[in-house]
């Protein structure tokens, strides 16, 4: 007992000498990420003791200012359903649970009580300093902060979503999601291997005459770059895409052109009047560092007229 008391006393002295906002021990970390042409999210998930903390780093990929609110985030799992992040007051109520102090007092006496008080003080200061308070992100700017959730028992995996984002002009953006693993205290969480394909949610679109092309998803891999597209024909005549598909190009921000891979492309070559087609355009691979590109489909025939559609893409 004397040895235990001496160790606790030493710990207490060291804790008391530490700065008031010293970082608490966060334990092992799991990582997850999601990408789009309007926002990228990278999340670090810390072991949920005494609270589940998800540290998010955001980057605005859109051409305008982006407002991100705490309430736009949510945690989803079979165990919890949809859960919103805690407010600072809610997080502090969990971090300063009197039961923790009582347990320290019962197990280790006054030294245990003081040690738990110090731990609560550090965690409270950490939450106050790091909780995500919302961010106004200029184009290409980054922001970060921590989302706090209750420490759900046996939660091993969840989906983190960002919903309700709008562009500077009021354009609504689709929800962005990523699946995250929850580390256990004392356990090891291996960093996931780099994804063979980096997928982006896309919102880019362009119009030429009666034609509109929307790019809904981009997949950048080492062997190819692929896009899920929808092309709409609002005209009263059939649109012929045969030559446009064969001549489609992708040009990166350095001016280099990448050509379509027709054998891997899956897109119907005719659109009836008032109709639309969905499909997949596949090109030679873009470099991983590419931030912008232009997808061009020239020579779409509607009667005697030829139309060219060029869509500006951001990654």
pLDDT in tens, 6-25: 444 444 444 444 444 456 65
SS3 state of residue 93: helix
Write out pLDDT tens, residues 154-172: 899 999 999 999 998 898 9
No. of H helices and E strands in the chain?
4, 21
As a whole number, mean pLDDT of residues 83-87 equals 97
Q: What domains, with CATH codes, occur in the chain?
A: 21-193 (2.60.40.1150), 198-314 (2.60.40.1640)
As a whole number, mean pLDDT of residues 66-91 equals 96
As given in the structure block, the two tokens for residue 151 are 């420490």
- Report the distance separating Cα 158 and Cα 75, nearest Å: 6
Q: C-alpha distances in angstroms, 226 versus 20, 163, 216, 259, 303?
A: 51, 25, 11, 12, 29
Return the pLDDT at 148: 97
Return the pLDDT at 18: 44
Instruction: Give the DSSP H or E segment for 141.
Output: none
Write out pLDDT tens, residues 29-65: 888 999 999 999 999 999 887 899 999 999 999 999 9
Write out pLDDT tens, residues 218-251: 999 999 999 999 999 999 999 999 999 999 999 9
Q: Cα 107 from chain centroid?
A: 42
Nearest to 48 by CA among 16, 4, 79: 79
Residue 44: asked if its preceding bond is cis (omega within 30°), the reply is no
Return the pLDDT at 169: 87
All residues at 6 or more sequence positions from 118 whose CB lies less than 8 Å from its CB, including other chains: 12, 15, 16
All residues at 6 or more sequence positions from 275 whose CB lies less than 8 Å from its CB, including other chains: 232, 233
Return the pLDDT at 115: 61
């Amino acid at each position: 007992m004397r040895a235990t008391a001496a160790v606790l006393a030493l710990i207490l002295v060291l804790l008391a000498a530490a700065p008031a906002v010293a970082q608490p021990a966060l334990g092992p970390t799991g990582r997850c990420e999601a990408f789009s042409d309007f926002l990228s999210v990278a999340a670090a998930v810390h072991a949920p003791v005494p609270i589940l903390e998800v540290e998010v780093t955001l980057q605005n990929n859109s051409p305008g200012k982006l407002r991100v609110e705490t309430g736009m985030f949510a945690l989803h799992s079979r165990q919890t359903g949809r859960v919103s992040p805690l407010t600072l007051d809610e997080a502090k109520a969990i971090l300063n649970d009197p039961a923790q102090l009582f347990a320290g007092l019962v197990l280790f006496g006054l030294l245990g009580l003081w040690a738990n008080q110090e731990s609560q003080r550090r965690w409270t200061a950490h939450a106050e300093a790091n909780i995500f308070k919302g961010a106004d992100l200029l184009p290409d700017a980054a922001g970060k902060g921590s989302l706090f959730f209750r420490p759900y028992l046996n939660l091993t995996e969840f989906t983190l979503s960002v919903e309700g984002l709008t562009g500077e002009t009021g354009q609504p953006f689709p929800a962005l999601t990523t699946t995250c693993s929850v580390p256990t205290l004392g356990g090891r969480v291996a960093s996931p291997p780099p994804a063979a394909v980096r997928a982006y949610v896309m919102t880019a679109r362009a119009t030429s005459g009666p034609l509109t092309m929307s790019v809904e998803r981009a997949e950048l891999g080492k062997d190819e770059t692929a896009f899920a597209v929808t092309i709409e024909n609002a005209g009263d005549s059939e649109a012929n895409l045969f030559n446009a598909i064969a001549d489609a190009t992708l040009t990166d921000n350095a001016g280099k052109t990448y050509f379509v891979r027709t054998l891997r492309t899956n897109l119907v070559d005719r659109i009836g009047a008032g109709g639309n087609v969905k499909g997949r355009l596949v090109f030679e691979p873009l470099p991983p560092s590419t931030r912008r590109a232009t997808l061009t489909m020239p020579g779409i025939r509607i009667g005697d007229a030829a139309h060219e559609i060029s869509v500006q893409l951001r990654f």
